[in-house]
Chains A and B, each alone.
Chain A
Amino acid sequence: MAYNDDSELSPVFPTALKILIAGGFGVGKTTFVGAVSEIRPLRTEEIITTASVGTDSLTGVENKSTTTVALDFGRITVDPRYILYVFGTPGQDRFWFMWDELSAGALGAVVLADTRRLQDSFAAIDFFEARGIDFLVAVNQFDGSFHYTPEEVRAALELKPDVPIVMCDARNSRSATAVLIALLQHLLGTSRNRSA
C-alpha cells in the first residue's frame, strides 16, 4: 500500500467515516447536520460534469454541462480512532446524486422526510436503494404538519419492511443524534443478517 511509507513521519491519522443526509429541498438537512455536529457546519462544493440529467425541461439537449453542487457537513469525534462526517445537501438532490465520490464508502444514510411533501423523498430513496446503501427514513416533525404513524409513512413511501422509520426534530441535538444512533443500530442488524 502506498500509505505505508508515510508511517514514520506522519502522526497516527484517525479514520474518517461518513453518513449522508438526503431528502427533498427545505426538509431540514442542513439544520440536522448543524444539530449533530460538534463544529459549526462547513460548506464545500464540487463541479460536476453532467451528461444531460434526464427529466429536465431541457431534455433533448444531449450535451455535457457542468453544475456546481454544494454540500454542508459537520463532524463528530466518535473516539480518537474514528471521526464521523455527516454530509447534507442544501440544494437540488438530482445533481448531488452524480457526485459518485460522496456515496462511495458511506456507512449509511438518513432520508429526511416532511409529511407535507413525502413525494420529495422518493429521489433519495431510489438512489440509496439503487446503490445498495442502507438507510432509514427520519420524519422531521414540523409544527403544523399532520402527524402520521410510521406505518402510514411506510405505505406512502412504499418502503420495504426492514427500512426503519423514526420521528425526529431536526433542530434538536438529542433528537437528531438519536436518529444517527437508530441508523447505526440498523446497520449493525443488517451486517448480522449478512454474515449469518
Chain B
Amino acid sequence: MVGPENEHFLDDDAGRLVRPYTVSNGRTRPSKHMELLSWVVATGRVPRGHLEPDHARALRLCSDPTTVAEISAHLKLPAAITKVVLSDLVDCGALSTRAPSPIADPTDRSVLEAVLHGLQRRL
C-alpha cells in the first residue's frame, strides 16, 4: 500500500493521506522566522543525508525564487507546517530565504505608483 519513497501520498479525492503534523514531527514553530510572502530559493547546495518526501518536494519547487504561500499551496500543507519544512532546508543550507519586503514600505509612494502602472498595463 505504501508506494516508493518519493511518491506523494496525495489524491485529489482522498486528500492528503499523511497527517500534516507527521511531516513536521509535530513541530509547529519553524527555526527561522518566515511569513507567507517570505521568499525562498534553492542555493544549489545538496543536503547531505536522506530528505523526507515533503522536504525533497519543497526543495524541487524552489529552483526559482518562490514565496512560502505558493510552496504551501503546491505541497497541500498548512502554512505553519510548510514553514517548518522550509526552515529545515534553510538550516541545512539547501535554501536561502528573505523576508517579504525589507525595503518596501506599503505607504511608499514609489511602490504604490509602480503597482498602479503595472496594473494599468494589464488593461
Contact = CB atoms under 8 A, between A and B. Distances in A.
Contacts, number: 127
B87 interface: no
Chain A: interface size category: 35 or more
B115 A82 contact: yes
Contact of A6 (B80, B98, B111): B98
A163 B3 CA distance: 55
A72 to B, nearest CB: 9
Contacts of B123: 174, 177-178, 181
Dominant SS at the A interface? mixed
Contact of B115 (A1, A17, A68): A17
Interface in B79-123: 79-80, 82, 96-104, 106-107, 109, 111-120, 122-123
B100 A16 contact: yes
B79 A188 contact: no
B65 interface: yes
A82 B65 contact: no
A76 B118 contact: yes
A47 B37 contact: no
A129 interface: no
A105 B80 contact: no
Interface stretch (A7-15, A54-62, A143-151): A7-15
Given A9-B96, A46-B78, A73-B73, 15 more contacts: A3-B99, A3-B102, A10-B98, A13-B39, A13-B65, A15-B101, A15-B111, A17-B101, A42-B70, A76-B119, A78-B118, A84-B118, A85-B67, A107-B115, A181-B119
